[in-house]
Amino acid sequence: MLDVQRHANLFRAEWQKIAGHRWATGLLIWIFPMGALGILAIMLLVALLAPPDIQRNFGLASVNGSVDWTEIMLGAWNIPNEMFGRIILIAFTAVIFAGEYQWGTWKNLLPRRRRVPLIVNKFVTLGAFVVVAFGAASLIAGLGMFLPVKIAGGQYGPPLAEALQSDFVRNFAVQAATTFTATIIAAVYAALGAMLTHSILGSIMIGIGLMILELFSMGIFALLGSLFGHPEIVGLYQLMPSYNLSNVASLITHQPSVNPPFLLNYVAPNSLELSVLILFVWVFGLMTLTVLLFRRQDVTF
């Protein structure tokens, strides 16, 4: 019981720090739910003032029938899984990780708690913070559309009972878990940058560098394949986080598997389960690497 309380205290401490950094959270995280609110306000204005054809252009009345709030809610989670979203996450996590070096605050924390729980808690709290923010954006976007759609005379659905009977809840949870995973992967990239450079800017640069390297890994694998006469090496791209994050997001929103044309000749797309498993291995492996490096690091600043 006491241990649970200690962990809860540690989580709360990290949450206070993150939430207290209003510039970072405001510009990089809360901007998404705020953006959703802004879009809703525009939709309301369109619903109230614009003629029907413009309202249709704004998606307030679907051509095929009702506006599907479940699709809107699931789609809102895709932002952190795409390149722009991942850059934002790296910048945010860099502030939180490298900030401890830049503000000289590790020296206050490390005598109070072992390094492993401190850093694992940092990952978990960051992930939870981002999930809460995008969960809020998803709720605002999905449920908030009710009002402008109804004002515009459109159909809003499906009914809640029907949505709950479908895979919506499961898919919503998987989207939240994928966002959590994307945050942790971004956080690890930023944390590795922070440990090397001890600066926020350096951490962002290294984090984005690692992400770009990961995105271009398909090209690297293709090059290696042609060099060694084994073009199927390109299939290794399907083991990379970026591929699997996109694949999960796509499958959950009832779109086809991600399958870049380059890969088509060599491998079948990953299933949802395989993508989730690969992401889990990445998260566990990257976190373990960070923890090992952090445990060995001398804190001299």
Partner 1 sequence: MTEIALRLHHVAKTFGRGKKQVQALKNLDLEVQAGQVYGFLGPNGAGKTTTIRILLDLIRPTRGQAAIYGRDPRRDHGVLGQVGAIVEGAAFYPFLSGRRNLEVLARTGGAYDRGRIDSLLEQVGLAERAGQYVRGYSTGMKQRLGLAAALLSDPDLLILDEPTNGLDPAGIQEMRVFIRDLVDRHGKTVFLSSHILSEIEQVCDRVAIINQGALVREGAVADLLAGSAELRVEAAPLAHAAEVLAARWPVQPNGQSITVRADRAAIPEVVRALVAAEVDVFQVVSQRQTLEDYFLSVTQSPEANHA
- Applying CB under 8 A, the residues found at the interface with partner 1 are 5-6, 9-10, 12-13, 16-17, 20-23, 99, 103-114, 118, 296, 298-300
Structure tokens at 124: 């978990």
Of the two residues 64 and 300, which places its CB atom closer to partner 1 in the complex? 300
Minimum distance between the CB of residue 85 and partner 1, rounded to whole angstroms? Answer: 24
In the complex with partner 1, the residue whose CB is nearer, 76 or 204, is: 204
In this structure, are residues 278 and 185 in contact, taking their beta carbons and an 8 Å threshold?
no
- How far apart (Å, rounded) are the C-alpha atoms in residues 21 and 14? 11
Q: How many whole angstroms separate alpha carbon 259 and alpha carbon 294?
A: 37
Residue with Cβ nearer partner 1 (114 or 230) = 114
Q: Which is nearer to partner 1, 8 or 160 (CB)?
A: 8
SS3 per-residue string spanning 205-230: HHHHHHHHHHHCHHHHHHHHHHHHCC
Torsion on CA atoms 110, 116, 119, 125, rounded to nearest 10: -120
Cβ closest to partner 1, residue 108 vs residue 165: 108
Output 110 or 267, the one with its CB closest to partner 1. Answer: 110
Output the six-digit token pair for 248: 């999960």
Closest distance to partner 1 from the beta carbon of 121 (Å): 9
Helices 115-144, 272-296: axis angle to 10 degrees equals 140
Q: How far apart are CA 183 and CA 93, in angstroms?
A: 8
276: amino acid identity, one letter:
V
